[in-house]
Amino acid sequence: EVQLVESGGGLAQPGGSLRLSCAASGFTFSEHEMNWVRQSPGQGLEWLSNISISGTNALYADSVEGRFTISRDNAKNSLFLHMNSLKPEDTAIYYCAGGHGYFHMWGQGTLVSVSS
């Protein structure tokens, strides 16, 4: 069974940092591009970042470019999102999702709250 399990969410202060993780199982992680997508309270979904299979190439939405960094460890079947300079508007449920373009597998998400 395909599983993506996010962790690392919680409360952070404005300007602070958090590191999200996504543990993958049930499929060959190293054969899939991976992404982070978020859903802000009462809002829709927003794609944030994509990372290539090897991890050498990454894309970002303008809203997080320069503040967030996506990475992966294929040996450990894990995806990461390093979030710096957090803003209150970064408050959201963060999902990891597999695929290029469209997302055929998703985790259940981890909640990030940014507040003083």
Binding site for other proteins (CB under 8 A): 4, 39, 43-47, 59, 61-62, 95, 97, 101-109
Q: Hey, is 100 helix, strand or coil?
A: coil
- Which of residues 5 and 16 has its CB atom nearest to other proteins in the complex? 5
- Dist CA 70 CA 58 (whole Å): 7
Sequence-ordered list of residues with C-beta below 8 angstroms from that of 60, at least 6 positions apart, any chain: 48, 49, 66, 68, 70
Closer CB to other proteins, residue 16 or residue 60?
Answer: 60
| Shortest Cβ 8–other proteins spacing (Å) | 17
Closest CB 13 distance from other proteins, rounded Å: 26
Both structure tokens of 31: 């054969």
Compare residues 17 and 108 and give the one whose CB is closer to other proteins. 108
